[in-house]
Chains A and B, each alone.
Chain A
């Protein structure tokens, strides 16, 4: 009995010690912004969370603002900043379209056709009069048994506008992409891309030269899928067989890697594209389709709109950020670094 009690006390002390260790703060750099990762936006983005500010993406941003609109002050989440504007005019290249080199070589006219169609799709979804139900249906019908990010309940014209969907060819966005990746490299381990990564050749568009060809077009759910909504709605075939798939964002890289990557055309985050495909040996980028959909929310500081000029207001504050180790968090860190605001990442 005595031995059992001693063991029990020892275990309790160990457990308590581990808990205390994980809970304690570093204590260094008190004036810095404390960045904390938010693993699950639906539960982690909350007025009750221990954050001064939260960085999230659409449609979560609009859903949370709408959901707390009738809450008392202090419990009401409001948008207090736009990460795209803080980065720079026009935002930053967020999602890009990459095409398999084998397709580029075998049928460049088809690739040009796709590029034109994607541009038209981006313009279509941005029309104020676009049928929201048609957009939702186009994406959800290709989501393969999963609940789509955007639904009739959370997709509005304002949300589409907030997603900054817009087609920019590789030739036009090359400089922006290179500059963005350099900034990400300055705050993390981001690979740069080679010159050969950008496909800038001007070709006349035409349908597939081989009618028996099967083209797999894959895109992650969310804003990137919205940019392709017209192609999904029309099931555009381009004179061959085109299969569209909207997949979980965490799985997108599996469609462009491996011995025989599944996707001929893929929309993916620019940082992932650079890390996996940046040498241009398997895939090349043809366009940028989204330019950032990340916003700051706050319940504790609703009156202060964050700008480049007052970014120092974040000093000493706790900021929860989704995907802290991915493009969202890296962009935030780049913006803070450019603004001369020190930050630390809470473990």
Chain B
């Protein structure tokens, strides 16, 4: 101890380490940011090239008209209502698919017989064309619920397959150890198998949610769901409001990208989960 007292830190001084950390982060990832920006610029370039090549505002809207239409949309109450409901349906389909996939994957992990019995069902779910069930959905369910069902049918086999692939990747020695030490089947399932499968699904959560959004909007168009982005797109197309249709599409793309970005943080949780416990 030298008797010196640490002077109070100024606000600027307290932010200095954070600025340094940010600067270090950008230096470390400069190529990632540059290439991502380049990619976005390339997409914008393709759009601009298509616009000038087609030369018809009633086929390809300009970027400026689209942005203007987006501004108009964001000011409409009906748009936010439709957007909210579409997001709810997207989340519902995704969560239901996730929950059921975990349940069925756990059952398949616990029982080889069940896994073999269930495999043909997964094949059917995977290849069933939506149009084939659209009529049944129109009769047996509400147009507001049908997109959730369609999204579930699309995501369930995908999530199940991801879980089962992850299950196949679990170290077999863990199961051998569990057998040797007489660990109960329930504990093997919920303490080894499921924790081993979930990280793979979490890492795909963003992509799955984006897919759910895409499928939900398509289904909303198919069954003409009231208060939905799908029906807004359908109406925009019907009324030849191309810029508005492009704006709705751009919005869906942005939201999908946001999902993928936001849920990408789940990878950090699973990395900690896999590396942290018992270490």
Residues on A close to B: CB < 8 A? 41-43, 46-48, 60, 63-64, 66-68, 71, 75, 143-147, 151, 153-154, 247-248, 250-251, 254
Contacts and interface: CB of A to CB of B under 8 A. Distances in A.
A145 B225 contact: yes
Given A68-B58, A248-B138, A248-B223, A145 B238 contact: no
B135 interface: yes
A250 B59 contact: no
Q: Which of B139, B143, B228, B238 has the most CB of A within 10 A?
A: B238
Given A48-B59, A247-B138, A146 B238 contact: no
Given A47-B58, A247-B138, A251-B135, A154 B239 contact: yes
Given A71-B58, A250-B135, A144 B142 contact: yes
17 contacts: A48-B58, A48-B59, A60-B238, A63-B238, A63-B239, A64-B240, A71-B57, A145-B143, A145-B226, A146-B224, A147-B224, A147-B231, A151-B235, A153-B235, A154-B238, A248-B223, A250-B135
A250 to B, nearest CB: 6
Interface in B206-226: 223-226
Nearest to A44: B237
Contact of B138 (A42, A48, A64, A251): A251
Given A143-B226, A147-B231, A251-B138, A42 B58 contact: no
Given A145-B143, A146-B226, A250-B135, A42 B237 contact: yes
Contacts of A146: 143, 223-226
Which 9 A-B residue pairs are closest in the complex by CB-CB distance?
A: A67-B240, A146-B143, A42-B238, A147-B231, A42-B237, A145-B144, A147-B224, A145-B143, A146-B224
B31 to A, nearest CB: 31
B225 A147 contact: yes
Contact of A67 (B144, B223, B239): B239
B225 A67 contact: no
A66 B238 CA distance: 10
Given A146-B226, A251-B135, 13 more contacts: A46-B59, A48-B58, A60-B238, A63-B238, A67-B241, A143-B226, A145-B225, A145-B226, A146-B224, A147-B225, A250-B134, A250-B135, A254-B135
A48 B143 contact: no
Given A48-B56, A250-B138, A42 B234 contact: yes
B234 to A, nearest CB: 5
Interface in B145-194: 145
Contacts of B134: 250
- The main secondary structure of chain B at its interface with chain A is loop
A187 to B, nearest CB: 26
Nearest to A67: B240
Interface residues of B, number: 25
A66 B235 CA distance: 13
A64 B59 CA distance: 13
Contacts of A145: 142-145, 225-226
Contacts of A63: 238-240
A68 B225 contact: no
Contact of B224 (A47, A75, A248): A248
A47 B138 CA distance: 31
Given A47-B58, A248-B223, A251-B139, A147 B240 contact: no
Most chain B beta-carbon neighbours within 10 Å: one of A67, A71, A153, A154: A67
Contacts of B231: 147
B58 A46 contact: yes
Interface string B231-252: 1001101111100000000000
Nearest to A140: B226
Contacts of A247: 138
B150 to A, nearest CB: 14
